Structure 1
Amino acid sequence: MKAFTTLSSTAAALTDNGRLMANVDTDMIIPKQFLKTTQREGLAEGLFFELKTKADGSPDPDFVLNKPQHRHAGILIAGDNFGCGSSREHAPWALLDQGITCVIAPSFADIFHNNCFKNGILPIALAPEICEALAEQAGGANHRFTIDLERQTITTPEGAEIRFNIEPGRKQSLLQGLDDIGETLMAGETIDAFEARRAHETPWLQGRANG
């Protein structure tokens, strides 16, 4: 997993009638027809497919990620309860394949929130009014933000600094680029020592008598 330290990127805001879209579920993030693969590459094609595609299959130029200035955005801003619905890990995979490594919203569905950390995506929860203000700036002429995980700050295009909270353990895992398996492997020597000691002290657990 790639470490997350700082990110300086344009931001794209998912809006509907001028307001941030709430309750964006995982089927909206990546529809079920794109779940036939276990590969993480190529999933950007299905990301927000029903939002970014017209009925005839052509790209919708009004969808934010189809606009030239937001096409390579690394930050996504959305409304409340982002990532709700089914627990599909393809959702963060598709975001990553698009190049999005930070999602800002007032709240996240629990499973999606956990899956973000397991895949190197930083989910930031901020008050609704702050998210709306950031979305407005993202739609302006200067829409570049800087995320500093170590300092836990967002620097807006206007130069303001906004602090965010994150659980310390998850912060360190992102900074070091460690998923659950990586964290376990970090304790490899301790695990090996425990296994050797257990084999000596309780040989019957290994299927052999004490010799």
Structure 2
Amino acid sequence: MDKFEKLTGVAAPLPLINVDTDMIIPKQFLKTIKRSGLGVNLFDEMRYNDDGSEKPDFVLNKPAYRNAEILVSGDNFGCGSSREHAPWAIKDFGIRCVIAPSFADIFFNNCFKNGILPIALPQDQVDLLMKDAEKGENARMTVDLEKQEITTSDGEVIPFQVDAFKKHCLLEGLDDIGLTMAKASEIASFESKAAMERPWV
């Protein structure tokens, strides 16, 4: 998993509440078990017409936001079914941080396991960041995980909270497999000792 330390990039405004996982990645794209290739279908029904052409008014289709790395959205982001494909699609598109007033629990935890930093902030602070994001590609935000601060394009600093263990995992680039592999020597030692003490197992 990629480390998340400090990110400076374009923030895309998506002022919608209850953005569910079917909106993020519709069910017809859930056949794959690969984490790559889903970015093109992120927000598929909002991004494309029935003939496959882009809807020019959707934020991620606008030239200023095609390379957005931060997404600012509304309350209850990631609600709906517990599909891990949702953070896969977000990450594959290139978005590494999602900011909203609240998140669905399963989606929130899946983000951390896939190298995405979800940040929950009070509505008034999200509103401020939304206005900053609406300025376009010249308004670049900085998200500093180590300091737990967001800096707007105007230099205003907004602190945020994050669980210490989840922060450690993002800073070190550790998903569940990585956490296990970090203990590989201890696991090997335990298995060797267990095999000697209980050879019949």
TM-score above 0.5? yes
Shift of 1:170: 0.7
Shift of 1:200: 2.4
Partner of 1:17: none
Mean alpha-carbon deviation: is it higher for 143-152 or for 48-57?
Answer: 48-57
The answer as to 2:84 corresponding to 1:89 is: yes
Shift of 1:203: 3.3
Partner of 1:165: 161
Deviations 1:14-40 (A, max 9, x none): 1xxxxx211100000000111121222
- Residues of 1 paired with 2:148 and 2:93: CA distance? 24
Question: Structure 1: 5+ residue runs without aligned partners?
Answer: 15-19, 207-211
Partner of 1:58: 53
Shift of 1:81: 0.8
The answer as to 2:11 corresponding to 1:11 is: yes
- Residues of 2 paired with 1:54 and 1:129: CA distance? 34
- Residues of 1 paired with 2:131 and 2:158: CA distance? 15
- Residues of 1 paired with 2:124 and 2:33: CA distance? 38
Aligned-residue Cα RMSD (Å) equals: 1.2
Percent of aligned positions that are identical: 58
- Residues of 1 paired with 2:11 and 2:182: CA distance? 34
Partner of 1:136: 131
Shift of 1:55: 4.2
- Residues of 1 paired with 2:179 and 2:51: CA distance? 46
The answer as to 2:83 corresponding to 1:108 is: no
SS of equivalent residue, structure 1 residue 69? helix
* Residue 178 of structure 1, aligned match among 174, 177, 181: 174
- Residues of 2 paired with 1:101 and 1:33: CA distance? 24
The one-letter code of the counterpart of 1:44 is G
TM-score normalised per structure 1: 0.91
How many equivalent pairs are there? 200
SS of equivalent residue, structure 1 residue 140? coil
Shift of 1:63: 0.6
The one-letter code of the counterpart of 1:152 is Q
The answer as to 2:138 corresponding to 1:154 is: no
Deviations 1:151-198 (A, max 9, x none): 111010110111111111110110010101101110111111111222
Deviations 1:84-116 (A, max 9, x none): 111111111111111001000111111111110
SS of equivalent residue, structure 1 residue 158? coil
- Residues of 1 paired with 2:30 and 2:186: CA distance? 38
Question: Structure 2: 5+ residue runs without aligned partners?
Answer: none
